[in-house]
């Protein structure tokens, strides 16, 4: 009688992608190979969890070693990601049963889900339903979100690179305005991501080493927007320094929770789709003070900016993917590896763990102690937190003047189940 085959692993990317999520994928693939007695193949979901529901499993072993190595330096989700939130088990048991069927068919006993808060919730549910259905799975969540809003971890892979991009973009644009403000633009607004938490906007504060330096004003979702105070601060800044640079979180809102951007369209998770805040702020300023303005909306450029990724961020993304597989190989389940900060300066960190049932559906906002008294800036405590996350330039290779990013072949495994068109 042959020995039971070594069980396989499923890996999927979820939600908004980042500059370094593929480094976590690479770590999962490489680390799994170090445990041939425990883990057989790594199959990746085509377009995230949908790949499991549709039985569209990517056979990672068919990629060339060069392409797999290229994951370290390629932004975005190389296997496709998705915005698809599994419903509660009671609401849609069929969906979970389908997942288990597919996993059974391909002898998949490890579930690595690389995402943010919503994905941690899904990961927890998959672990529960597997147990209930008598097909125990080890579900490990690999944290990733540019929003930096997961609890228990010092920070989230993807964030450090956005933080670096946003801080240096603010620094560069501010030099431009400083050199032009005598006769031209007086106000510059950079709109950045951040629906509910101001981490990204806050990190832009690293560009300022003194009150005179940009950004002069940061708008956070956590601090109620007060038009009068804002406009007064803009005017004071222009009068004092000749120009004013503003970094605004897309989720900036008034005390009664009204988003300044005002858009009402929603994505699949029910989140409001934002954008358009920067021109709105510019218009307010123009009407109040008449200053010439410019504005930029970084949008996807900020989270895809692998060309200037933070080395610290890249190292942590890899370390968390690696830790996830090692936890699985050690028999752990329903857990998420975390970054534990040992020291601010010099920055020291290590890997910790958090139980998934405590992680899911929590959002970590910026603490009060990170905001200056007027709410328009960050404190030294915040600086100590942000500073190490942007250290190091993890440059990709270039070819013909552009980054030499890889595109995988993404060969699918032969399907073993009848086609199911529900997904």
Catalytic residues, which ones? 147
Nearer to a copy of itself, 35 or 292 (CB): 292
Which of 122, 89, 106 is CA-nearest to residue 13? Answer: 122
3-state secondary structure of 174: helix
Residue 149 phi/psi, 5-degree rounding, is: -110, 15
Give the x-and-dash track for 125-164 against a copy of itself (CB under 8 A): ---------------------------------------x
CA separation for the pair 268, 144 (Å, rounded): 19
- Interaction mask 196-235, a copy of itself, x per CB under 8 A: ----------xx----------------------------
Which of positions 301-340 make contact with a copy of itself (CB under 8 A)?
Answer: 301, 303-308, 310
Cis omega before residue 379 (within 30°)?
Answer: no
Cβ at position 409, least distance to a copy of itself in Å: 14
**Preceding omega of 98 cis (within 30 degrees of 0):** no
Say whether residue 83 binds a copy of itself (CB under 8 A): yes
Taking CB under 8 A as the rule, does residue 176 contact a copy of itself?
yes
**Residue window 58-77: x/- pattern of binding to a copy of itself, with contact defined by CB under 8 A:** ----------------xxxx
Within 13 Å, how many C-alpha atoms sit on residue 214's CB side? 27
CB nearer a copy of itself, residue 52 or residue 206: 206
C-alpha separations of 281 from 60, 160, 250, 263 in Å: 47, 27, 11, 14
In DSSP terms, 339 is beta-bridged to: 351
* Binding-site member from 12, 57, 238, 278 for a copy of itself (CB under 8 A): 278
Residue 173 found at the interface with a copy of itself (CB under 8 A) = yes
Under rule CB under 8 A, residue 272 binds a copy of itself:
no
Q: Is 41 in the site for a copy of itself (CB under 8 A)?
A: no
92 counts as binding a copy of itself under rule CB under 8 A: no
Contact between 387 and a copy of itself per CB under 8 A: yes
Q: Which stretch binds a copy of itself (CB under 8 A): 100-108, 317-325, 370-378, 383-391?
A: 383-391
List Cβ neighbours of 422 (8 Å cut-off, separation of 6 or more): 53, 94, 98
DSSP E strand boundaries for 182-264: 187-192, 217-219, 244-249
Which stretches of 242-401 are assigned E, i.e. beta strand?
A: 244-249, 293-297, 335-343, 348-355, 398-399
# residues contacting a copy of itself (CB under 8 A):
73
CB of 38 to a copy of itself, least distance (A): 29
* The only residue of 34, 64, 273, 369 in contact with a copy of itself, by rule CB under 8 A: 273
Alpha-carbon separation of residue 284 from 27, 46, 144 (angstroms): 47, 45, 35
Look at residue 270 and give its three-state secondary structure: coil
- Sketch the per residue contact string, 247 through 266, with a copy of itself: x for CB under 8 A, - otherwise: ------------------x-
Q: Does 44 bind a copy of itself (CB under 8 A)?
A: no
């Amino acid at each position: 009688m042959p020995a039971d085959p070594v069980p396989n692993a499923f890996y999927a990317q979820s939600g908004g992608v980042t500059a370094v999520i593929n480094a976590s994928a690479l770590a999962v693939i490489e680390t799994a190979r170090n445990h041939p007695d425990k883990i057989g193949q790594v199959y990746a979901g085509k377009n995230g969890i949908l790949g499991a529901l549709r039985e569209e499993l990517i056979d990672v072993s068919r990629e060339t070693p060069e392409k797999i190595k290229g994951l370290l330096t390629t932004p975005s989700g190389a296997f496709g990601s998705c915005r698809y939130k599994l419903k509660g088990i009671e609401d849609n048991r069929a969906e979970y049963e389908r997942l288990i069927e597919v996993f059974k068919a391909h002898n998949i006993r490890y579930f690595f889900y690389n995402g943010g808060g919503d994905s941690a919730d899904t990961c927890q549910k998959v672990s529960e339903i597997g147990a209930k259905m008598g097909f125990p799975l080890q579900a490990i969540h690999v944290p990733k979100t540019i929003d930096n809003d997961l609890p228990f971890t010092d920070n989230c892979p993807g964030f450090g690179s956005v933080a670096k991009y946003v801080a240096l973009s603010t620094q560069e644009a501010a030099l431009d305005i400083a050199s032009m403000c005598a006769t031209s633009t007086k106000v510059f607004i950079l709109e950045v991501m951040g629906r509910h938490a101001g981490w990204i906007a806050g990190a832009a504060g690293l560009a300022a080493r003194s009150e005179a330096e940009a950004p002069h004003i940061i708008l956070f979702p956590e601090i109620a927007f007060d038009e009068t105070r804002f406009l007064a601060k803009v005017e004071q800044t222009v009068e004092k320094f000749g120009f004013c640079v503003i970094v605004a979180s897309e989720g900036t809102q008034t005390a009664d929770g009204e988003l300044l951007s005002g858009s009402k369209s929603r994505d699949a998770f029910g989140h409001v789709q934002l954008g358009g805040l920067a021109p709105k702020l510019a218009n307010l300023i123009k009407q109040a003070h008449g200053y010439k303005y410019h504005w930029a909306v970084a949008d996807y450029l900020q989270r895809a900016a692998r060309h200037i990724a933070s080395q610290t961020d890249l190292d942590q993304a890899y370390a968390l993917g690696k830790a996830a597989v090692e936890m699985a190989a050690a028999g752990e389940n329903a857990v998420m590896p975390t970054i534990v900060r040992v020291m601010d300066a010099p920055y020291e960190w290590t890997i910790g763990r958090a139980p998934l049932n405590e992680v899911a559906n929590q959002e970590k906002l910026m603490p009060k102690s990170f905001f200056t008294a007027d709410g328009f800036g960050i404190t030294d405590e915040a600086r100590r937190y942000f500073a190490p996350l942007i250290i190091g330039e993890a440059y990709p290779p270039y070819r013909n003047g552009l980054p030499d990013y890889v595109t995988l072949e993404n060969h699918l495994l032969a399907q073993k189940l009848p086609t199911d068109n529900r997904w």
